[in-house]
Amino acid sequence: FSYLPVKLQEELQQTAEAIVCHGKGILAVDETNEGIGALLAQVGLENTENNRRNYRQLLFTSDDVLSSYVSAVILYDETVYQKTDSGVRFIEVLGKKNIIPGVKVDKDVVPLPYTDEVTTQGLDDLAKRCAEYKKQGCRFAKWRAPLTISANGPSALAIESTANVLARYASICQTEGLVPIVEPDVLLDGDHDIIRAQKVTETVLAAVYKALNDHHVYLEGTLLKPNMVTPGKACKERNTPEEIAVATVTALLRGVPAAVPGIAFLSGGQTEEEATVYLNAINKVPMKKPWALTFSYGRALQASVWKTWAGREENLIKAQTELIKRAKANNLAALGQYNF
């Protein structure tokens, strides 16, 4: 038996570690064209390639101080090839700031026939796409696989399918020289309590790491992007940040090998403040934590930016300042030093 070539192992591990060092985290701007279209519509703009480019240019041309808080950015396919107004590739702009570019490679969900659940597609041409992204300068990839908590779900079928797809994705990425960010997302939707959320998260993580092991994935060259363990959005019983921190770290300790260098949470529909306060509590809770615990937020880093920008050129600097404010708050939270 032989693993990935040692040189490639080292490269992947170095990249994974660089992404989660010093409380830095990931800015996720990999909304699909449809997803960003809805946000553009809210500020009265049409969903054109140029409007999508212009918004992302706003983020990437923020003050260089951004790179003290953000180590990496997740791009969408189209964004990998886009340029600033002055013709510089976005990937180059990020590189000059010492920010590592990565890319979303899943092709969203499809129904699992004869169930009300889903699985993720995109494996067929993945090796080819990874090789192309690597050539363009990307150093990591991400694949999001959502699972829903319902009366009897997620089912064993959905969990097994998700775990296997994530493991196939991760092994293909590593062979092509990209660090896979593995994202099993147990959704916030539902009225389940925190105890149920914790048990489901533990079951899903155990299945995912069994599959990663079966597929010979080099764990030191991966990152995990999980949900935090919280009560469902519609659950009447609310928990404190400390309770959320204990449930989250307990589930992670039970399911995530210590060989994984870092865990970067998704925000999953939490408000900006919640996402920061919970991350801070997670880093402060007095429990064993063998991995870096940081952020990979989409909505929780951009909600204020969209509100402040409102699609108007004259608000550009103010909107960039909001991004830096959130990034700094989350950097402090990843160090357990956020004061509110």
Looking at 24, 225, 272, 322, which residue is catalytic? 225
Residues 171-190 vs ligand 13P: string with x where CB under 6 A?
Answer: ------------x-------
Of the residues 15, 16, 30, 205, which one makes contact with ligand 13P according to CB under 6 A: 30
Q: Where are the extended beta strands (E) located within 148-199? A: 179-186
Q: List the Cα angle 72/105/252 in 5-degree steps.
A: 65
Q: HEC states along 84-126?
A: CCCCCEHHHHHHHCCCEEEEECCCCEEECCCCCCEEECCCCCH
Catalytic residue, chosen from 183, 202, 272, 322, is 183
| Minimal distance, residue 235 CB to ligand 13P, in Å | 19
CB closer to ligand 13P out of 62 and 267: 267
Binding mask 37-76 for ligand 13P (x = CB under 6 A): -------------------------------------x--
Residues 6+ apart with CB under 8 A from 160: 207
Whole-angstrom Cα distance, residue 306 to residue 329? Answer: 18
Contacts (CB under 6 A) with ligand 13P, residues 257-316? 266-268, 297-300
Structure tokens at 283: 């880093």
Establish whether 322 is a catalytic residue: no
What are 110's strand-pairing partners? 119
Q: Is 326 in the site for ligand 13P (CB under 6 A)?
A: no
Our answer to whether residue 97 is catalytic in this structure is no
3-class DSSP state of 57 = helix
Who contacts 1 (Cβ-Cβ below 8 Å, separation ≥6)? Answer: none
Site for ligand 13P in 124-153 (CB under 6 A): 142, 144
What's the closest the beta carbon of residue 312 comes to ligand 13P, in angstroms? Answer: 23
Task: Fill in the DSSP letter of residue 83.
Answer: B
# of chain residues touching ligand 13P (CB under 6 A) = 13
Interacting residues with ligand 13P (CB under 6 A): 28, 30, 74, 142, 144, 183, 266-268, 297-300
Catalytic residue ranges? 183, 225
